[in-house]
């Protein structure tokens, strides 16, 4: 199959915020060979490159020059490991939630708490997706990348990925230098329950299956988060801030009801949504953007706005929280090329 390049390609429907954007050139390679051909084409023409996954964690400008690449390799398969272990291979274009539900339906444990996280597998390691006490790095065995400069493929270990809370080497040293093309996940047939967050345990009953957990997580997320197909959003717009223990104690003395989660390194994770809500911002709308009326952690797009307007609105929300609580909120979705 030969690679197809499209000119002046509309990306409005390719980002969950629904921001209007046009790519000067666009390709959706369906194989490693097609990806390498697209990279070669970009080198020949001197085009800058922008990588696009499911568009769920990206703030797009009105126009992207050069070549936008959206890997479309969409296969996944199982490989039996030792004992109860099963290795799962998933290519970059596989929709993450669809993979999670399929694996949970097969009775495999490990990714069920990560259900309904939007996006594709190729983007999942970039911010080390996590939910309900589980992070991708806990089940990732290895991943394959292709060097954007020369098209060479190589495998990386989790240690080489420098994973942290909502962070990885792909946001730092390797940002804009590689594209992730395949994940190798390590799952198990033995029950490994992680039900300590929220009311998850109450929702799954006494003898939960991976599918029951995944469905419960999905139901909770649907209750709290708007559907991007109906109301543009990028999910959680801010990271839950990590503060020093001393600062957390001062805040708790004043706000004893404040949700907080102590971390192994001694810091305390706070709930960004709670902080925004306590500032009276839930449901706030200014122009084309607003704070969701059910989940203050989510900024929503009502249509017709621009990336600049969204960033200005987000800055006003973060400034209000900083002035009220002395806590700095960090944005999750990124601009193209941003580290």
Q: Catalytic residues, which ones? A: 166, 236, 332
Biggest CA-to-CA distance, the chain: 64
Question: What does residue 280 show for φ and ψ, rounded to 5 degrees?
Answer: 75, 25
Backbone angles phi, psi at 281, to 5 degrees: -100, -10
Looking at residue 281, what DSSP letter applies?
A: -
**DSSP letter string over 175-216?**
TTTEEEEEEEEEEESS------STTHHHHH-SS--HHHHHHH
DSSP secondary structure string for all residues of 244-256 = -HHHHHHHHHH-T
Nearby residues of 213 by Cβ (< 8 Å), 6 or more positions away: 104, 112, 113, 115, 193, 195, 200, 204
Query: Cα Rg for the chain, rounded, in angstroms?
Result: 20
8-state DSSP, 32 = H
């Amino acid at each position: 199959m030969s690679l197809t390049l499209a000119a002046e390609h509309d990306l409005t429907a390719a980002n969950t915020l629904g921001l209007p954007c046009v790519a000067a050139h666009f390709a959706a390679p369906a194989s490693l060979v097609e990806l390498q051909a697209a990279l070669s084409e970009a080198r020949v023409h001197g085009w800058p490159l922008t990588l696009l996954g499911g568009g769920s964690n990206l703030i797009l400008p009105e126009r992207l020059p050069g070549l936008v690449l959206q890997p479309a390799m969409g296969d996944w398969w199982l490989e039996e490991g030792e004992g109860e272990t099963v290795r799962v291979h998933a290519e970059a274009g596989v929709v993450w939630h669809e993979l999670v539900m399929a694996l949970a339906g097969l009775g495999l444990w490990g990714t069920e708490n990560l259900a309904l996280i939007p996006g594709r597998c190729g983007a999942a390691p970039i911010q080390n997706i996590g939910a309900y006490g589980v992070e991708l790095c806990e089940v990732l065995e290895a991943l394959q990348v292709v060097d954007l400069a020369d098209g060479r493929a190589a495998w990386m270990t989790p240690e080489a990925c420098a994973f942290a809370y909502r962070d990885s080497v792909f946001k730092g040293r390797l940002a804009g230098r590689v594209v992730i093309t395949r994940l190798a996940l390590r799952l198990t047939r033995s029950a490994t329950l992680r039900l300590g967050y929220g009311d998850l345990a109450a929702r799954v009953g006494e003898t939960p299956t991976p599918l029951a957990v995944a469905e419960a997580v999905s139901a909770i997320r649907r209750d709290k988060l708007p559907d991007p197909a109906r109301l543009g959003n990028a999910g959680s717009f801010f990271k839950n801030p990590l503060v020093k223990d001393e600062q957390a104690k001062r805040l708790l003395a004043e706000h004893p009801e404040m949700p907080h989660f102590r971390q192994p390194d001694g810091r305390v994770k706070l709930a960004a949504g709670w902080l925004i809500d306590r500032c009276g911002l839930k449901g706030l709308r200014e122009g084309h953007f607003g704070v969701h009326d059910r989940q203050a952690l989510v900024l929503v797009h009502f249509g017709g706005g621009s990336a600049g307007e969204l960033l200005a609105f987000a800055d006003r929300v973060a400034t209000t929280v900083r002035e009220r609580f002395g806590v700095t909120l960090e944005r999750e979705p990124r601009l193209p090329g941003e580290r």
